[in-house]
Amino acid sequence: MTTFREQRTAPDGPHDATVARLEQENAQLRHAVDSHATVDQAIGVLVATRRLPPAAGFEVLREVSQHTNIKLHTVAETLIAWGLGSHCRSR
């Protein structure tokens, strides 16, 4: 005879596959949200330092990403780091 606890922890093929798929989807969505926030911050750096409108700031990031074959969020991270370094030196 099995107890209720044993029944709950027993592997369930389709259920396990669904849970794994949802966990992967959740991780991908979290990464997308984080990347979006990073890109928004980088656009803010361009708006503040170059007085560009936000749409033009995004185009700059996109073009740099495409022409250098570097992922957009990596370009954004680099720009934010530059902005923080530049800001610290000016004070």
Chain segment 7-21, per-residue pLDDT in tens = 455 456 788 999 999
Beta carbons within 10 angstroms of residue 64's beta carbon:
15
Reported as a single tens digit per residue, the pLDDT across 29-88 is 898 888 899 999 999 999 999 999 999 999 999 999 999 999 999 999 999 999 998 655
For the chain, percent helix, then strand, then coil, each to nearest 5? 85, 0, 15
| pTM > 0.85: yes or no | no
Q: Is 52 helix (H, G, I), strand (E, B) or coil?
A: coil
13-50 and 72-89 are packed helices; what angle lies between their axes, rounded to 10 degrees? 40
Cα 12 to Cα 6: distance, rounded to the nearest angstrom: 12
